[in-house]
Structure formats: structure tokens, C-alpha cells
Amino acid sequence: MASPQPDAQSPREIRAARLQKVNDLKQLGLNPYAYTWDVTHQAAALQEKFTELPNGEEADFEVSIAGRIMARRVFGKLAFFTLQDETGSIQLFLDKKTIQTAMAETDEQAFNHLKQLTDVGDFLGVKGVIKRTDKGELSVKVSTYSVLTKALMPLPDKWHGLTDVAKRYRQRYVDLIVNPEVRDTFRKRALITASIRRYLDQQNFIEIETPVLQAEPGGADARPFVTYHNTMDMQLYLRIATELHLKRLIVGGFERVFEMGRIFRNEGISTRHNPEFTSIELYQAYADYHDMMDITEALIVNAAQEVLGTTDITYQGEAITLSTPWKRITMHDAVQEKTGVDFAAFTDLAAAKEAAKKAGLHGVDDCATIGHVLNEAFEQTVEPSLIQPTFITDYPVEISPLAKPHRHKPGLVERFELFIVGRETANSFSELTDPVDQRQRLEAQAAKKAAGDLEAQSLDEDFVTALEYGMPPTGGMGMGIDRLVMLLTDAPSIRDVIAFPLLKPEQGGTD
RNA sequence: GGGUUGCUAGCUCAGCGGUAGAGCACUCGGCUUUUAACCGAUUGGUCCUGGGUUCGAAUCCCAGGCGACCCA
């Protein structure tokens, strides 16, 4: 018999009571923190295998399973536990006679100890046979059990679960324990990234890792995180893109490369932005942005088919069809459709601004070029309406310093961005390969940066030198993995698809 | 950056100027077919923090912290 339990009500006392049970288990010679358990089956597979087992029948099938106790329904000489493993859950049918007979040699009070010393939250290993109860619940009729890990902290309300979003993110492990759909999201995320890698592997792309720590961050318009290397005594930046190094690999002779990895941007946090996020960038020699549209469609459709089994999805109540081909429209045409203004017709900046204001746009006064006015018009009028997958093509050169000039349209570049549910999901160019042009464009960016534009790009001399050795015609594409996962898992916030999103410390700063 | 809003028991929430509450969880007793088990009993609090108003503040006011939503 276990020692009498102290009253346990407050979390402090609950913890104390559970620590007492830890000691009681040790007194009985049982290790409350076991080393291994021989698991023969998982819950979901058993549920699947025995769907046909009639109520009240026992199968001649022995199993040894393990998991966390999620619910306890205890009677005098009978108890039902719900045991949860990674795949799902299964009921334990705990009959006093069966257990005390089977465990007589090790613990003659085995059933009473089970009742007294286990709690919701503990990990339990059991051996027994499969049976379906009279009431129809598939169960393991337990002969022997072992406490594998004693939990000290109580779990959240079994019915309401954990809903406080801040707590869910701060204590994701608790969120994962009690909210099965959260586990499902991260499982799907893994399947999505695996399907992308598998597809690219089939297309003979190879993944090469490029540096996170860089002396000069480049490849995107974004503010970097700054860090410091002690022995080299130098300031370093966390990468804001993988672009410039992957292109160096194309210069080096690889023809199909990609990297899926973490990117860091020192910017705001929102439902669509986390300071660290995952991107994939891929580069294919001898290809252009049209080829990149095809591969982008293929990657996303393939992922949807493999993970969801369909290309017809719902995002936050909105029906989205991913079946290809997706709409392709130039930025100029898209803006003209919405505003009635053809910005391609302008040669005078002031006139373009005038027309933009007449069309009801705001914030165009600061625009330095007609291209910036066009982009502003696009972001304000077109972007939110791009719910179904749409490639917006042919961007102004002023906002695309790494893209090759359009082969037919002066002032534009061969670039597209993919929008789904109003969000930029991918960005791609026919890559600029002319080192002289590239130098000029990056010098212009560096000048803007020197003038105080914190998101302007800088001049990476070594990258330009690489181009001077000659880069073959290349198509490149970058995609936000988190946003893709949000789309395919119907997640409203990027924090729902990042296991441990960045949060402010709960107790506030030190200053 | 601006606006709106939330923070009360381990969890989910009520209370909105007059003794801090409910359900679940926990503890004790009972129970061999439960599955939000049930029946009975006992319990559990820095009402986010700090000031202020008041005879009296979880409640009203001010400042701060951490979130959520909307706008820029």
C-alpha cells in the first residue's frame, strides 16, 4: 500500500503529490523513469487492423504498446485509460483480476498501485491482448504494465484543451500533447518539404548548403540581423536569401541546384511574417522564367497531391483550385484592369503620379520612378484580389536588381511573382548574367542604402566577380515554405506552421 | 506607429464598486463496461504588474508588461 497522499489542489501541491508518487514507486522497487519499452504496435495501426472485431470479443492477438495517459475512468475493480501515442489513441481495459494474476510475482497489489500511483499525463507501457468492449471501444486488455515516465505537471482541461494562443506558442509541447490537429500540421509540413525534395531529386537537382553567416548580406531587399565573430573580430550578418551563393554554384558548373533552409530578416512580426522562416531557392541553367513558372506549378501541385490527395483546397473558408495551368498576367495589364490606367504609356513621373492619385491611390508621392508608382498601384489594387494562384509577370527593372532585362519590353525585366490567397508565395527571374549591368544595378542599390534605405541591397564584389567568369543563362525561383504550408494546412497564422515561433519573453526586457 | 480588445484557480470561463465563483482537473470515500464515466465530500487564488481615486477596487482612472484583431 502506498503512503497516504497529502491533499493536492494547487499546482504546487499537485506537483508535490506527484513527487510523492514518484517516491512511492521507488519504494516499491519500480523505476518511475524507465529506460526502454518494447513497442510492438501503435494505436492507429491497431484501430485500423481491428475495425471488424465485434463488440465484446477478444482477439487472439498480443500487443505491447506505450503512450501517454490522456484520460482515466476508474471503478473499484476495473478501470479504463485512454493511451495516446504518436499515431492516435487506444483504450486500455484494466481488470483487477487479470492484472493482479499476471503481476503477482512482481507486485501483488499491481491493480491498486495502478489506481493510486498513475495520473493523466504519465507515460505507461502495457502488454495485453486486443479486445473490443461491450460498448464498442477497441481496447488492450492489460495483463502487465509499467510506469515509464511519471509526469509532475497536470495537463490542460481534457474537454476545452489549451486555447490560449500565447500559451500554445510558448509551451508548444503542451499544445502538441493535447491538440492532435497541431501534430497533424507539423506532420504535413514534413511531408510537404519531403515531397518538394523528392520532386527536385527526380528532376536531377542537387541540394547544396550555403553560408548563413555572411560578411555582406545580399539577394533580397531586407534588413539583416547583425552578429559578431570574436576571433576574426568582425561583424557578420545572418543571410536574408540564398540567391547569390547558389548562383555562384551555377557559375561553378552545377546546372541544377537548390537549397531549402532558414532565412533571417530583421523585420516586423505578423500573421504572415516570422523573423526566421524557411525558403527554397532553385536555379536551373539554360532555363528562363517561363520554365520556372512550369516548375513552380509542378512543385506545388505535386505537394498538394502527395500530402492532401487533391488540388482543390479550402483556405480559411475560401475555395482554392490549384489545378494547372495558372493564370499568367503582366503587372501592367493587371494594374490596368483594376485602375483603368496604363502605366506603360507614361514617360513622365509627375504625370504617372497624377494618374495614380486620380485612380484613388495613396502614398505615391515618395515614389522615385514610374516603376515604383506601378508597383504601388499593384500592391494597393491588385494584390489583395489574387486569391486563385496567379503569376504576375514582367516587373519594372527599378525594383528587380537581380533580374535579366525583358527580351522585348524595355524598362521591364523577366520576372514573376506567384500570388495565392493574396499573398506573395514565390518570386522568380530569368537571372541577370551580364556582370557590367549587374554591377551598375547593385551600385545603384548601394547608393540608396548609403542614402538611408535600410532595405536596399549592397554590392557583393565577389558575386559580381563570379558573374565575370561567366554564368550560363539561368532561371531561378524562390518560394516561401511557411506560406505554402499555411496554404496547404489551412493555417491562419505563420506561427501555426512554425513549431517554435519567436516570442517576446514573458517577463519583459531587462532595460 | 495608430485604433480596438483580452489578461481572474492547473485548464475553460463567469463576476464589472461591497466576504473571489462555476465546470473540468486534483485529494478522499464508493463503484467490474466506461469513453467529458457517475455519486458523495473536501479543497485550490500575487484577480498580469505598479501607482491613483474611494470608507471599500478583480471591478473605476493612469502608467507599464505580454497577447489578439484591424489600420498605416
The whole-number Å distance from A509's CA to B51's C1' is 20
The whole-number Å distance from A174's CA to B68's C1' is 20
A139 touches strand B (CB under 7 A): yes
**Residue A13 exposure: Cα atoms within 13 Å on the Cβ side:** 6
Hunting for cell 538611408 — which residue is that?
Answer: A452
Spans of chain A below 70 pLDDT: 1-9, 507-511
The whole-number Å distance from A234's CA to B54's C1' is 60
**Residue A424 exposure: Cα atoms within 13 Å on the Cβ side:** 12
User: Given this model, what pLDDT does residue A249 score?
Assistant: 98
A389 touches strand B (CB under 7 A): no
Smallest CA–C1' separation from A7: which nucleotide? B27
A120 touches strand B (CB under 7 A): yes
Local structure of A203: helix, strand or coil: coil
Which bin fits A468, alpha (ψ -120 to 50), beta or left (φ > 0)? alpha
What sign for the dihedral angle of Cα A386, A392, A398, A400? Answer: positive
The whole-number Å distance from A509's CA to B17's C1' is 34
CA distances from A254 to A226, A242, A245, A247, A284 (A): 31, 15, 12, 9, 9
User: Given this model, what pLDDT does residue A480 score?
Assistant: 95
Q: Write out the E strands in A175-299.
A: 206-207, 213-214, 226-229, 234-238, 256-264, 276-285
Distance CA A418, CA A396 (A): 16
Q: For strand B, which residues in window 263-292 of chain A come within 7 Å by CB?
A: 268, 271
Are the beta carbons of A40 and A65 closer than 8 angstroms? yes
ipTM of the complex: 0.91
Burial tier of A112 (Cβ tally within 10 Å: 0-12, 13-18, 19+): middle
User: Given this model, what pLDDT does residue A1 score?
Assistant: 31
The whole-number Å distance from A8's CA to B20's C1' is 20
The whole-number Å distance from A279's CA to B71's C1' is 29
Angle at A174 between CA A172 and CA A180, to 5 degrees: 90
pLDDT digits (tens, 9 = 90+) for A29-48: 999 999 999 999 999 999 99
**Residue A144 exposure: Cα atoms within 13 Å on the Cβ side:** 14
Strand B positions within 7 A of protein Cβ atoms: 6, 9-13, 23-28, 30-37, 42-45, 64-70, 72
User: Given this model, what pLDDT does residue A8 score?
Assistant: 45
| Residue with CA nearest C1' of nucleotide B49 | A507
Q: Which residues pair with A285 in a beta bridge?
A: A474
A42 touches strand B (CB under 7 A): no
- Write phi, then psi, for A26 (nearest 5 degrees): -65, -40
User: Given this model, what pLDDT does residue A507 score?
Assistant: 60
Q: How many residues does chain A have?
A: 511
User: Given this model, what pLDDT does residue A4 score?
Assistant: 34
The whole-number Å distance from A497's CA to B37's C1' is 36
Are the beta carbons of A478 and A279 closer than 8 angstroms? yes
Element (H, E) at A129: strand A123-132
A365 touches strand B (CB under 7 A): no
Q: Which grid coordinates belong to A104?
A: 503477482
pTM: 0.93
| Residue with CA nearest C1' of nucleotide B13 | A160
- Write phi, then psi, for A284 (nearest 5 degrees): -130, 120
